[in-house]
Amino acid sequence: MSLSHLIASLEHDLSRDLPRNTQSFAGARARRPEIAPFLTIGALSAVLTRPASIPVHARRALIAALVREAQETKASFASAALVLAFAPMLHRLRSRTGGRNANLDLDSTILLAFTSAVRVVPPGPYSSLGLRWATERSVLRACRAERRHRRASPFDENVHSVSPFYIDGVRTKLNAVLRKLAKDGAAELLEVLIATRGANESLREYVARTCPRAADRRARYEELYRARLRFEREVRKQFKRRAA
């Protein structure tokens, strides 16, 4: 699944009236005057994907508000909305660094670099520039490291006997994993994996932080637990044969 398909998956996820999105969005509207005029996430996404639809200063303020929301509440809709807002920049960066060649590793590197930048760039009038520069710096650094690694470790067919079907096999496995991620709700499941597998936050802590109503937390926990379990089982199933 390419960067384009990943972004489309996030856009589809935002367009659905899911409780996690609507509750987080309602809270954001109450907290952020820049977000308050938008009655739905769809209306917000429409403005973000058409920069000319609002004045430059209003767009900068909206971007800063979404960055602040993503950092202070870790709302999945805010991170996903920012990905949609910066999709043209991400596609340009993809073209600069990889051209039109299929490269799932590069696609993942770009998306991860951007979501990481969202968490560290200071909210303010220059958030847009900060997001672009931080993302580009991270991606270009990764590309330079990859080129150095290739020069330092030339491929030797006598040592590394690789099946000609290996690359296509890995790509098929990754596509299956990414389709599973999209099916289970790409935006929030990505947030859950980052929080619980990358940041050592327990799933119960994540649910307590992101689910405003205590009465809904048990059902929300069960839903996310099952989605995460299905996804991780899919990952293990796809790569078990290769590891063996």
Encode pLDDT of 74-118 as tens digits: 778 888 889 988 988 888 888 888 777 777 788 888 888 898 889
Question: What is the mean predicted confidence (pLDDT) over 151-179?
Answer: 51
Res 187: pLDDT? 62
Question: What is the mean predicted confidence (pLDDT) over 145-156?
Answer: 63
Lowest-confidence region among 11-25, 129-143, 165-179, 230-244: 165-179
Confidence of residue 144 (pLDDT cuts 50, 70, 90): confident
In angstroms, rounded to a whole number, what is the distance separating the alpha carbons of residues 24 and 29?
Answer: 9
Res 185: pLDDT? 59
Lowest-confidence region among 41-50, 111-120, 229-238: 229-238
CA distances for 64 relative to 25, 35, 41, 61, 228, angstroms: 16, 10, 17, 5, 30
Q: Is residue 123 predicted with pLDDT exceeding 50?
A: yes
CB under 8 A, 24+ apart: contacts of 51-58? 58/34
| Token pair belonging to 74 | 């870790």
Nearest to 112 by CA among 89, 144, 90: 90
Most confident range (mean pLDDT) of 29-38, 76-85, 155-164 is: 29-38
CA-CA-CA-CA torsion sign (128, 210, 108, 17): negative
103 torsion bin: left (phi>0), alpha (psi -120 to 50), beta (else): beta
Q: Which ranges constitute the DSSP H helices of 86-198?
A: 87-98, 104-120, 127-152, 166-183, 186-193
CB-based contact 241:191 (threshold 8 Å)? no
Answer whether 0.75 is exceeded by the pTM. Answer: no
Mean pLDDT in the chain?
Answer: 78
Question: What is the mean predicted confidence (pLDDT) over 52-78?
Answer: 88
Encode pLDDT of 203-214 as tens digits: 888 888 888 888
Share of the chain above pLDDT 90, in %: 10
Question: What is the mean predicted confidence (pLDDT) over 193-199?
Answer: 69
In this structure, the number of other CB atoms found within 10 A of the CB of residue 204 comes to: 14
Q: Is residue 158 predicted with pLDDT exceeding 60?
A: no
Confidence of residue 164 (pLDDT cuts 50, 70, 90): very low
- pLDDT higher at 230 or 150: 230
Q: Cα dihedral angle (86, 58, 131, 82), rounded to 10 degrees?
A: -40
Question: What is the mean predicted confidence (pLDDT) over 65-79?
Answer: 87
Res 159: pLDDT? 47
In angstroms, rounded to a whole number, what is the distance separating the alpha carbons of residues 194 and 176?
Answer: 20
Res 2: pLDDT? 74
